[in-house]
Structure 1
Amino acid sequence: MSTNIYDRLKELNIVLPPVPPQNVASYVMSVQTGNVVFVSGHIAKKDGAVWVGKLGDNITTEEGKAAARSIGIDLINTLHAHTGDLNKITRIVKLTGLVNSTQTFTEHHLVINGCSNLLNEVFGKVGVHARAAFGVAQIPLGSCVEIEMVVEVAASN
């Protein structure tokens, strides 16, 4: 994609939030080995608080998609903090999405599309990725969705 990623974010009316502190737990938000960045799981937030709920119970598929999209923005923000320049991203490699859901809920893939579609909009062909989507009994803090990501960045000289 030849478009500057920051210009694309502006076109999509996406404003990256302030970067949260990195030392909030027993892990870091991103780790790089070679040209690959592993971005830790991010949980859904709404109005600055954890977006609590269970798909198939008190959260609809459309709300879940919105939650996943909001996570996508946070993942992009973590990549920005890690790389210093989102234009260094050469490929979104893989997403793994966890959906806090009832045993009968079967639309996990549609929920995680909220994040996948956002990455495709922002990064174009570079944003097309492999993916897994799982239903789980619970996510930390009761969040409705959690997503982690693997990304390739340009080699540094």
Structure 2
Amino acid sequence: CSLSSYATGESPNMNGVCSPAAHVHYEERGDTTVSRLGNFTINIYDSDEKVGYPTLCKGRFRAMDKSGYLFEEPTSLDVTAMLPELADAGVSALKIEGRQRGKAYISQVVGAFRTSLDTIAEGQLNARSKLSTLSEGQSDTTGAYRRSWQ
């Protein structure tokens, strides 16, 4: 969020969104689409890629001759499959991100987690949640929990 504030000159806390819409721009360049936040290029997408909303933490950058998502993949974090492991590690609370989301979205996400937790409490295997239809780009990640760092 600090990087977004730097790129836009606005606090991300003012409107509840990290990349204020007034600073988001898309440009077509030949067979690619460029997403920009303010004066900064966040990502360059080939014609066969889905174009995401440009937030700095989910941007694709080039460093040391490698191109990739340095901070976070442009997908939604879903740890429901890891709930038994998290519980075994002593985790007793989760934060579910719902900023800029509607009541129906929040209800579905919280309901899916409640169902998963109840299933685990009953001693049953934790079936994979059906949150992918709510995820950015219909894909999800376990984020840093399963990421191999270089």
Instruction: Tell me the TM-score range normalised by the shorter chain.
Output: under 0.3
Question: Higher strand proportion, which one?
Answer: 1
- Which structure exhibits the higher relative contact order, with contacts defined as CA atoms closer than 8 Å and separated by 6 or more residues? 1
- TM-score, scaled to structure 2: 0.23
TM-score normalized with structure 1 length? 0.23
